Every structure is written in C-alpha cells, then in structure tokens.
Amino acid sequence: MFASLSDRLTATFRTLRGKGRLTEADIDGTVAEIRRALLDADVALPVVTTFTDRIRARAVGAEVSGALNPGQQVVKIVHEELVEILGGSARPLSFAKSGPTVIMLAGLQGAGKTTFAGKLAHHLKSQGHTPILVAADLQRPNAVTQLEVVGERAGVPVYAPERGVTRDDERSKGDPVKVAKNAIKEAVKRQHSVVIVDTAGRLGVDAELMKQAGDIRKAVDPDEVLFVIDSMIGQDAVATAQAFQQGVAMTGVVLTKLDGDARGGAALSVREITGVPILFASTGEKLDEFEVFHPERMASRILDMGDILTLIEQAEQKFDQVEAARMADKMAKGEDFTLTDFLSQMQQLKNMGSMKKMLTMLPGMGQAREQIENLDERELTRTEAIIQSMTPYERDNPKALNGSRRLRIASGSGTTVAQINSLVKRFEDAQRMMKAMAGGGGMPAMPGMGG
C-alpha cells in the first residue's frame, strides 16, 4: 500500500535530517521532490499543486520550535496536510432514523462493489445490525451468483429475484430499479435494519449506466450512496469520480485494492477533487480485508510512521480474549506452559491475518519491507501439523519426546526429525520466556521488535 510513494517521501525527509536550519533552497528542493513523488504516484495535478503550495507556505513560515528540529517540522506539516487532503477526520456511516438504512453501491465494473458489499454486510453484522444484500446488478455475467456466494460467506441473506446475465444467457432480464424497490419492502417485512444494494457498473462511464444508477437512487432514497473506486485506476480516477458525482451524487467513497502495489493516486485525489469523504478501504479479496477509513492513520502509514491504532484494533478483534485470560491465569498459578498452549498461541497469530500486512503497520517498517516479504507463513502451518501429530500426553510432557516418538511424529506430519527438533527448541525458548514473565511480571519485549 503506497509503498513507492512512502519510500520516496521518507527518503526526501532523510536529506533534511540533522539540519539546524532550513534555507529557502532546502525547502524548494524538498517541495519539488514531494511534488515529483506525488505525480509519480498518479495523484491528480490540481491536488498536487494545492498540496505542495500549502506545504511551502507553511514550511517557509515555520518557526523553529523547541521540541522539533526543522526537518521534523516539515514531516509534521506534510503529515497534517496529508490528513487534510484525505478528509480530516473519519466520517462514520449515517443510519436512518426510522426504518431500514439503505446503502447503495455504485462504481465501474470490476471496481470491487460486489466484494465490498459482502465485507460491509459482514462488518455491520458484527456490530449487531441485520443487513440484507440486494442483487441489482443484472448486467455483469454471473454478478447475481457472485453476490450470493459473498452473502453466504458473510452469513447475510441475499435478495435476488432475478438472475440477470449469466454465462448461458447473455440477455439481461428483469428490471434493476424494480428489484431495488421491492427489496426495501422485503427488508421492512423481514425486519432487516440495513439494506445494501449492489448495482451494475460498466467498463467505462456511460450515459445508460448513469441513468440506471440515478433511477435506482430515486427509487430507493438511500441514506448513503457509496462510490466504489479501484485505487489502481491512476489518472482516470478524477474523471470517473466527477462523472459519478454528477450522475448519482454519492455521499461517500470506498477505496478498493489498496493492498496492490497501487501507486495510490486515486486515494489522494478523490476526496480533494469531489469533497466527498472516504468512508472505507478494501485491502484484499477476503471478507475481513476491510477497514474503516481514518485519514490520520492513513497519512501516518504513507509517511511510514506506522499505524499502531489499526494494528491494535485488528489484534483485539482477532485475539481470542477467553484464551488470553486462560493463559494469564495459568501463568499466575505457575502452571507449566505446554505444547498445547504453544499451538494455541501460534493459531492465534495465524488468526491475526496476514502477518506481513500487520508488520508493515509498525513504525519504521517501510525500510524492513524486504525482510517482511520473505517471512514464511508456511512455517506456522508446519508447526501446527507437527503438534497435531503428537499425542495429548506428549503435548503436555514435551520431555517425553524421545527419538522414536520424534520419528513417528515426523512421518505423521510429513516433516523431518530435524524440523521436529527445531520446533522443540523454539518451544523451549518460549517456555523459558513464559517462565520469566510469570516470575518477573510484565510482558517481555517481542523478539526483534525493539523495546
């Protein structure tokens, strides 16, 4: 996410490090470098100009404060201005005061609407809402089936009275406006609190598409119209966003595919050009690769200042609190840390999603990106297989693991005795660490992450 932009900006700031005073030439040089980095990241020209003008004005006038050196002050200004173009503060979803909340999704074909529909439904469901998905994309082949699959994964019902275009039948049948309208009645009857309407997109902006989206908007009177845009579309982002603003007057923006090696220009342009806030970001194909958009956190990520808040939130969501309490209790009582506990901890780590993605949220990790890329997640899977091949007795009494037991476990888990030995060694290290924690109190620093 924003990897190259992030690298360029941090490299620029590095040249300012250690300077006691910034000359006008320093500032000019920095601003020119920021400008090039943004243009290379496909940020729209008017946005780049506004942004760099503000930076220059503030940097020239910046007082040298006691706490920050001039270089740090420039970083602070850039951070604040980035937050500003990303929208200032996070804007939460608006809900209807009475009756179901209607959320309509619009955007080009392939932008990620259907995928996002599932993620949003899943997110809202986890917050106690009772959403229903509506299949009003009757144009893209198999869009209706895809929404049904997504709905099933999210555990959310799908209203799909029409099949739309399918692989076997290329004519669109059924009227999406009618589908959307009837969906609202259905939602009221079935007492759903949120209705998410997936609509059709085209490969490019066209009049017919806009008219249909506009008609659906009129028919369902949505509380939110979310414009879904692929962050990778580069300079087309501006024209597309403007067309949708005229056509459907969206109330919010959803950025998708931020996980790709996106240059990120769309993200930085759309809000500034349209004035419409970014509400959500999509960072992968899986259901939970979804984030509420926080301008301040995104700016920190772009500047490689890390996004600790998102990291903590994701960890909290995915960490099994009951299991954590059980471990703490065990340690307090001075009970032995066993291989079963070790496995459970490893599984928790796995649940926390892609470790790579999480690690890149740590401050300063931009520079360690290469090592992170090489992190072997298969290692976790292998550990799991090994421990699962042990008997409960062995898991509780690792000392009993003699040569013949190790041989049996290796063949049972499709690994080698050397791999078992290495796992046992890592386990013993962890066990020692747990002992030290139980004795000394407090968490030790995570290895390799600094203190």
Binding region for GTP: 107-114, 198-202, 256-259
74 by DSSP, 3-state: which? Answer: helix
Q: Is 345 in the site for ligand GDP (CB under 6 A)?
A: no
Binder among 222, 284, 353, 398 for ligand GDP (CB under 6 A): 284
Whichever of 122 and 406 has its CB closer to ligand GDP, that residue is: 122
Angle, helix 24-40 to helix 70-85, in steps of 10 degrees: 40
Rounded Cα–Cα distance for residues 112 and 262 (Å):
15
Whichever of 291 and 394 has its CB closer to ligand GDP, that residue is: 291
Residues 255-274 that bind ligand GDP (CB under 6 A): 256-257, 259-260
Whichever of 137 and 394 has its CB closer to ligand GDP, that residue is: 137
Contacts with ligand GDP, 104-133, as mask; x by CB under 6 A: ---x-xxxxxxx------------------
Whichever of 285 and 335 has its CB closer to ligand GDP, that residue is: 285
Minimum CB distance to ligand GDP, residue 12 (Å)? 28
Which pair of tokens denotes residue 328?
């703490």
Q: How many residues make contact with ligand GDP (CB under 6 A)?
A: 18
Count of other CB atoms within 10 angstroms of residue 106: 29
Taking CB under 6 A as the binding criterion, the range among 10-18, 165-173, 186-194, 280-288 that sits at the site for ligand GDP is 280-288
Minimum CB distance to ligand GDP, residue 374 (Å)? 21
Whichever of 28 and 285 has its CB closer to ligand GDP, that residue is: 285
Q: Is 285 in the site for ligand GDP (CB under 6 A)?
A: yes
Cβ neighbours for 170, distance < 8 A, ≥ 6 positions apart: 141
CA-based max dimension of the chain:
74
Three-state SS across 168-225? CCCCCCCCHHHHHHHHHHHHHHCCCCEEEEEECCCCCCCHHHHHHHHHHHHHHCCCEE
Binder among 282, 300, 413, 415 for ligand GDP (CB under 6 A): 282
Minimum CB distance to ligand GDP, residue 117 (Å)? 8
Three-state SS across 211-280? HHHHHHHHHHCCCEEEEEEEHHHCCHHHHHHHHHHHHHCCCEEEEECCCCCCCCHHHHHHHHHHCCCEEE
Minimum CB distance to ligand GDP, residue 160 (Å)? 14
Which pair of tokens denotes residue 78?
């850039």
Taking CB under 6 A as the binding criterion, the range among 71-79, 188-196, 279-287, 301-309 that sits at the site for ligand GDP is 279-287
* Cβ–Cβ under 8 Å, residues 223 and 102: yes
Rounded Cα–Cα distance for residues 213 and 83 (Å):
31
* Cβ–Cβ under 8 Å, residues 83 and 299: yes
Count of other CB atoms within 10 angstroms of residue 173: 11
Q: Is 419 in the site for ligand GDP (CB under 6 A)?
A: no
Residues at the annotated binding site?
A: 107-114, 198-202, 256-259
Minimum CB distance to ligand GDP, residue 108 (Å)? 7
Binder among 140, 192, 217, 271 for ligand GDP (CB under 6 A): 140
Minimum CB distance to ligand GDP, residue 113 (Å)? 3
Minimum CB distance to ligand GDP, residue 248 (Å)? 14
Whichever of 290 and 342 has its CB closer to ligand GDP, that residue is: 290
* Cβ–Cβ under 8 Å, residues 129 and 193: yes
**407 sits in which H/E element:** helix 403-413
Binder among 201, 222, 234, 353 for ligand GDP (CB under 6 A): 201
Rounded Cα–Cα distance for residues 357 and 372 (Å):
9
Whichever of 106 and 194 has its CB closer to ligand GDP, that residue is: 106
* Cβ–Cβ under 8 Å, residues 330 and 341: yes
Binder among 30, 269, 283, 338 for ligand GDP (CB under 6 A): 283
Rounded Cα–Cα distance for residues 47 and 269 (Å):
6
Given the rule CB under 6 A, which residues bind ligand GDP? 107, 109-115, 140, 201, 256-257, 259-260, 282-285
